[in-house]
Amino acid sequence: MEKLSNYKYTMDQCNHCGQCKWIHPSGMHGWDYSEICPIFHEYGFDACSGQGLINIAKEIMNGTLQYGDGLEKMIYSCTACGACDINCKSVRDMEVLDCILALREDCAVNGTLPEAITERKKNIGESHNIYGLPHSDRWNWIPKDCGEDPNSDTVLFLGCAVSYRQRETALAAMKLLRAGGVSFRLLREEEWCCGGILWRNGQTDAAEKVIRRNMDLLHGQGVRTLITACGECFGFFRGAYPKFGAVSFRVRHISEVAAELLEKGKLAFHKLDIDGPVTYHDPCLLGRLSEEYVPWKGTIHSYGLHEPEKVWRRGEYGVYDAPRMLLRSIPGLELREMPRNCENAFCCGAHAKDADQEFALKTAAERRREAKSTGAGCVITACPFCEEALSEPGENALPCVELTRLLADALEGGEE
């Protein structure tokens, strides 16, 4: 899908302006926290940026650079958070992230990937989850009285991280749906990994097999609405699945559903025992990368004129309002914004762990430093991977709480 030659325009037209490394000046809140690219923030080399990876992709395509000598680790240390892409599009319309993903596909086909990334692919192929754990563990813990309706055309998709590591989030999502009177069902043994991590790592053939299987399953069962309990799964269903075929079901995140129920008066929240203000971390795939991908094929003319006209994903229409509205609806809870927020949120670094764990930990510590600068005593997020990364012990330690669980705890009149 993501061939390097498809992004020749982006490679040729990059004028090294550096906007991929920094938040556009109109969105800056000061010099500190103005950098937006995690690898550039850490290493400072031009090659460690969206611009640098575009240049590397061009040299690979032209045959003047080969894989090896640690190049693969560098390519996969990039978190693929899309911040470079969004900020490039604030001044020019080019596909920086898609070019990076095409580079990864080329690397996966021709290079030697970091061992942990190869292991993820094996795990999904054999056990249908990223951890390589028994497939039965994905659903054998779900309570029989979880309140699902087997005839519902709405599916609650849990995802690997929630099913295996953060089951309280799954139970919290079910509790919110029950309280709001939303009919839903679970896929249980038929739920597989969404395949997003394979697509993100450039393992496109393996990703396509999983994605097409999932699409066939959901279409075949007449699913009309897919609610995800995971911000990552949400972004992948919205941003990757349309690349492989038409998606007939609507994809929603649990926070969007809860916010709608709140507006309709079907949910209410009571005060929680939280000391001091909190701040909210926007997950990349729930935020700037969650806009629906609209496939495009055509001709690029001078000055980037696309014919036919292209629908661009600029990050402005991610899921930003719903989590904030929900948090502000909890009595007594004070929400403070970090300088880098919404489409300009700094990545937590979680998806660099497979290539460079030390760098991933430093990236999470930088985000916690920013969270603490608000005076908040706790950071809230809506992604299991972000929660794990931001909860890591170490520099700038700060409690991190998953949004769905927080809302379930604050549910007025909810079951104990």
* CATH at 200: 3.40.50.1860
Pairing of strands 250-253, 225-228: parallel
Alpha helices by DSSP H, listed for 48-192, are 50-62, 71-77, 83-88, 96-110, 115-127, 160-164, 167-179
**pLDDT for 115-128, tens place per residue?**
999 999 999 999 99
pLDDT score, position 415: 53
Is 355 part of any domain? no
DSSP state of 334: P
Is there a single domain that holds both residue 136 and residue 235? yes
Is 144 part of any domain? yes
Beta strands in 202-341 (DSSP E): 225-228, 250-253, 278-281, 299-300, 306-307, 335-336
Residues of the chain short of pLDDT 50, as ranges, are 1, 416
How does DSSP assign 362-386, residue by residue? HHHHHHHHHHHHTT-S-EEES-HHH
Picking from 87, 113, 139, the residue at the C-terminal end of a domain is: 113
Tokens 């978190």, residue located: 79
Amino acid letter, 30: G
pTM, whole model, 2 decimals?
0.96
Residue 277: CB atoms within 10 Å? 14
CB 99, CB 7: distance < 8 Å: yes
pLDDT score, position 26: 86
pLDDT score, position 74: 93
pLDDT score, position 2: 57
Tokens 């269903």, residue located: 237
Instruction: Kindly tell me the sign of the dihedral angle through the C-alpha atoms of 256, 135, 212, 216.
Output: negative
CA-nearest of 336, 350, 346 to 384 is 350
pLDDT score, position 416: 46
| Summary mean pLDDT of the chain | 95
Is there a single domain that holds both residue 102 and residue 155? no
Picking from 208, 223, 254, the residue at the C-terminal end of a domain is: 254
Dist. CA 256–CA 277, nearest whole Å: 23
Is 302 part of any domain? no
Count how many domains the chain has.
2
Picking from 207, 229, 254, the residue at the C-terminal end of a domain is: 254
pLDDT score, position 394: 83
What is the domain extent for residue 200?
124-254
CA-nearest of 41, 9, 15, 36 to 24 is 36
State which H helix or E strand residue 213 sits in: helix 204-220
CB under 8 Å, gap of 24 or more: what pairs does 116-125 form?
116/353, 116/354, 116/355, 117/76, 117/201, 117/203, 117/354, 117/355, 120/197, 120/198, 120/201, 120/354, 121/198, 121/201, 121/203, 121/206, 124/192, 124/193, 124/195, 124/197, 124/198, 124/206, 124/210, 125/206
State which H helix or E strand residue 156 sits in: strand 154-157
Is there a single domain that holds both residue 198 and residue 143? yes
Is 25 part of any domain? yes
pLDDT score, position 414: 55
